[in-house]
Structure 1
Amino acid sequence: MSGVGQSFVLHERLAADTFSLGQSGLCEIRLMNDRNWPWVLLVPRVEGVREIYQLAQDQQRQLLSESSLLGEGLMALFGGDKLNVAALGNMVPQLHLHHIVRFEGDPAWPGPVWGKLPASHYGEPELAEVMSRLAPLLDRLRQL
């Protein structure tokens, strides 16, 4: 896919707040370091892009395919009631799509998760467990 990966640098805040889960055809796949919710980000590896419409049309289609596969997989793995998908970018201008599995009755339900609870960081055993759980889904994403 043209333009992917060339001179791409992950924003420092995303690098600090997430763990790498590898790469798909278009995106860096990142796990938010917050065990309050199953929360994965897709970050297109295209330098200087802030909005989805700035991606080439083939990249937009690829992002939709990756996002749909990720969302469906997260809901199947974690049994959520709702999937929140958002590209806010107010704090981090680099385009990134949040995929957050939500549960009726979770501490932020039905509102957004931002600012409700301080991040509860993964310990090593929890991180290993969630990464193991995500592994088959990540393998499927890497094939797109």
Structure 2
Amino acid sequence: MTVNGVVDIVAHSMGFAYSLGMIEVLQQEGITIGNYYVLAPENACSGSVLSGLEDRTWQYGSDERTTKENPIEIQDGVAPQCAMNGIDDLKRIKIPIKQRTPEQLGFTASHSIVNYDWIFSTITKEQKGYVKTRN
């Protein structure tokens, strides 16, 4: 989406890798990148946030740290989450487990884009990871 010549990028799963290349090309063409939202990125720790986008990048997905409250069986098994290189842990927004139903969690459900509605319904304007609307 472009507004005033600024493009926001939304990537999911393997689209994370594609988006890194796409952003480089867009920037080479003089296009300004606004916010960068990455949902359930596959192999995220193999890629890096591009220089200059660190403050506008958010990673959403499961938390690879297994605990009693976050057992492996409710985590994303399609693209197990690891942090994108160059992103602060505060920029990683974990799936709000307590606000999800059992059907929205698990090996494939925690990866499915349809179950990422929580980004819009649970993150308020005052919280980290809020998706800004564009005018």
Q: Which is helix-richer, 1 or 2?
A: 1
TM-score (norm 2): 0.29
